[in-house]
Structure 1
């Protein structure tokens, strides 16, 4: 057995190009079989840098729109806030495929660095917005120029050996989910600092004129640090012709296949839209993403709404407390609990279970608003933690399905397609969530699902549809080939 292993290792010797960054990464993967913590840290920081600005505005967006004096009635504020939230996703939906093509042509690293620079510039300018339309335009430009998530999903697979690719994608989804929770926590703590920390930020100062600049500045400073660190980010894209016979043969041996690169060139004409395991997982991912971003918008607006409108009347720092607790719970769950449960149930079965359980949990939110005092804070923290854990569990399982549904030579295109479709749905989410919340708050005394009971019911309709589609025959899982089974 040992002799066969040595022969196989000898056959797998590749010809590496000296000046090719992709070859250097492949050579490092061949020499080092364990997981490199530095690579996990790189993925974590870059994805966190991208996800923090997406939802950091939710706790203070209600007050920001209120300060713009564009809404004629209090009930209309949530609707205008939804447009600001959707502007980012609309911009990203229009440019994700383009950034994916640029990443395939020029490399993952340049697209990542451009995306980080866009965070530094436009997230900072958003905090300095003095009108509703300036805020919308800054968010749109931030989304348009921040195209790093698709390339980073491909990067998370390419930087690791095949047996560790699931860990790379799990790190990606964990950083993404935590960013969507920690971002609002930062926004809640740092917005309106003159009111919260008068001993540090005096009245009539710069911080009083721009009360929502501090959380944007904090995220932009973090992005600047990540930008500097990204200069040392390894590039995984090969910058030489893939026609060497040695690479063809060794590549075929490494994947356990009889195909060479020439065979794969022919197969590159495979239509991703006809790959049902991929397309079915993308469709479910889009619906879950729509539900998630609408929930994030509704949750933050609902918690700061007045009791008269069925809200909790929280301040932004209290919302920050709740979301910070959710973020800590998410970190502990992803690192200590999720791996064991995923091995026990499988990613999709585990996602189905959590999806079903999330429906009654979400419908209980209007009843939480009936509580007060300590019981309110305890219950809202518990339900918020559980809801975020369930969402990240579903998204992680779908990430694994998407990347397993295609071969490596199509993975970048598949992730670009997934990001584009998801961004379209997420562009709808905040505006729809804000509009529905506004409508529900205008029918507080309706006989059927009065007030906020309606908005959480409609969120459950979307989430329930996503859960339903996670079952067969709609959701298909790609079966492993004999060679993949052998390697497993």
Structure 2
């Protein structure tokens, strides 16, 4: 009877085990390391999104004749060029960073990239010419070419495949949070003498010199304050990463890291001083999450008495890497930023452009923008960005569980064209003080919802399409290069078409002839992708 009862108890425990091992945010391994890696990911939204609310006005202030009739067209061209130089810098270094990380480790490459980001962000706000702005934008992009390294490091930190879906969602989640903060802060901190006169104006708190016009350096460099904020935050992330981020490259993860030792000493000192933790007389061996203490005495494996020698991992040739499913996914991965990056550039410029009298407009013949100030643009974009974070936290996991990663990706690609068809008609509401706000919110919410579902899905699909784990670095490096190329091409084409549309009186040209066409192509191509059998099991997302 006891044997029978033990057998039944064993069966019961085996059946209960899957319920205990459900994939949730709480049981996600290596959360501290993922958090540090996600903080490093802030370099992209702070470098790239912070300037969007005030870019139109920044270029306008630099132009010699900002009130010239052709100024809106010229500004749209230059903003497109400035936005495009950043991903061009990313594209030029993505493969180089990946190669260096395979040789010298992931952590040194990430720290070097963050250092370049700090310098370029600080210098950007103090630039007074288009040429220097372009230079620092390119350098910022080169420093942020480490995205592929971060994605590879994510896969190496979280080795179990069933946890990787949530692990890969951590970086976009921090990215979206950083983007929301960057949009709001960029819009509000720009031109602080006029936007925050109580601090930087003639009677402002920081005007200690009692300058008649306000704080002198803020007058001379009106767009330096957002850059100072960016550089400071990134410098803090750099220090935290240096002191806490562990190396994940298998050939170098056992090497002694003096920065980690310093970080543990500082952490211990803070605990003793702040939390009043006293020394017990024993020396604590600090074990990081994911590390395992091993004794000198060999321990037998539960499965067998003898150990099996580890088989060396064979390298995969480049020809075998580029399988047909991977190439299909690769193309879908590139189409997404081609229209999404254009929207992220065009929409803030469109909101900042002056309104136009469209009394004699037709269904296609109308022009102008909505005439919003930079703080208004930043806060509006940030408010809708919060919706994206909530969608990613609470809606995306349930959708992914119900219809799968590919199903969510297709649904997102169906929503994009709807937003692009409706967006230009906002110009007709520029003179309506109330009606324009819900209309703007509806268009932006649709686009935010679509990209919130599409971006993490595209990363997961690309990861799944890789033939082997040992080529993830190559796959994500190539994916980051293609994404950067698309992100550079889209804003340039968008800026030129926006300027052409303003000249011709058809502001919808860029929306209908570029964004809509690319989005429809992406929608059609999403049905070419094939669903993988393990999609529901290996990448299950349960709350």
TM range (shorter): 0.7 to 0.9
Corresponding residue of 1:222: 233
1: CA distance, partners of 2:309 / 2:383: 50
Residue 44 of structure 1 aligns to a residue in which SS?
Answer: helix
1: CA distance, partners of 2:402 / 2:42: 28
Contact kept in structure 2, 1:156 and 1:168, CA below 8 Å: yes
Residue 373 of structure 1 aligns to a residue in which SS?
Answer: coil
Which of 32, 37, 45 pairs up with 2:31? 37
Residue 334 of structure 1 aligns to a residue in which SS?
Answer: helix
Corresponding residue of 1:466: 522
Residue 115 of structure 1 aligns to a residue in which SS?
Answer: helix
Q: Note the aligned Cα RMSD (angstroms).
A: 2.9
Given the alignment of the two structures, is residue 238 of structure 1 paired with residue 293 of structure 2, yes or no? no
2: CA distance, partners of 1:381 / 1:241: 47
Residue 268 of structure 1 aligns to a residue in which SS?
Answer: coil
Which of 462, 469, 486 pairs up with 1:402? 462
Q: 1:418: Cα distance to partner? A: 0.5
1: CA distance, partners of 2:253 / 2:444: 50
Corresponding residue of 1:197: 196
Structure 1 unaligned residues grouped into runs of 5+: 7-31, 243-249, 445-450
Corresponding residue of 1:58: 52
Corresponding residue of 2:161: 162
How many residues are aligned here? 437
Which of 510, 516, 523 pairs up with 1:455? 510
Q: 1:213: Cα distance to partner? A: 0.9
2: CA distance, partners of 1:311 / 1:38: 45
Which of 79, 82, 89 pairs up with 2:80? 82
1: CA distance, partners of 2:491 / 2:107: 30
Sort the Cα spacing of 1:484 and 1:36 in 2 relative to 1 into closer, same or farther, 3 A.
Answer: closer
**Cα-to-partner distance string for 1:166-206 (whole Å, 9 max, x where unaligned):** 11111122333444444333221211111111121133511
Given the alignment of the two structures, is residue 429 of structure 1 paired with residue 490 of structure 2, yes or no? yes
Corresponding residue of 1:312: 370
Q: 1:260: Cα distance to partner? A: 6.1
Corresponding residue of 2:109: 111
Corresponding residue of 1:379: 439
Sort the Cα spacing of 1:477 and 1:107 in 2 relative to 1 into closer, same or farther, 3 A.
Answer: farther
Greater fraction of residues in helix: 1
Corresponding residue of 2:175: 176
Give the TM-score normalised by the residue count of structure 1: 0.83
2: CA distance, partners of 1:299 / 1:377: 14
Q: 1:215: Cα distance to partner? A: 1.1
1: CA distance, partners of 2:180 / 2:147: 17
1: CA distance, partners of 2:181 / 2:144: 19
Contact kept in structure 1, 2:187 and 2:376, CA below 8 Å: yes
Structure 2 unaligned residues grouped into runs of 5+: 1-6, 14-25, 202-212, 255-299, 357-366
Given the alignment of the two structures, is residue 334 of structure 1 paired with residue 382 of structure 2, yes or no? no
Residue 271 of structure 1 aligns to a residue in which SS?
Answer: helix
Contact kept in structure 2, 1:120 and 1:223, CA below 8 Å: yes
2: CA distance, partners of 1:304 / 1:362: 18
2: CA distance, partners of 1:190 / 1:293: 23
**Cα-to-partner distance string for 1:358-387 (whole Å, 9 max, x where unaligned):** 212221112223232233223312321221
Residue 498 of structure 2 aligns to a residue in which SS?
Answer: helix
Q: 1:477: Cα distance to partner? A: 4.4
Residues 340-379 of structure 1 mapped to structure 2, 5 A cutoff: 340-371=398-429, 372-379=432-439
Corresponding residue of 2:217: 206
Q: 1:135: Cα distance to partner? A: 0.1
Q: 1:114: Cα distance to partner? A: 1.0
Q: 1:147: Cα distance to partner? A: 2.5
Sort the Cα spacing of 1:50 and 1:358 in 2 relative to 1 into closer, same or farther, 3 A.
Answer: closer
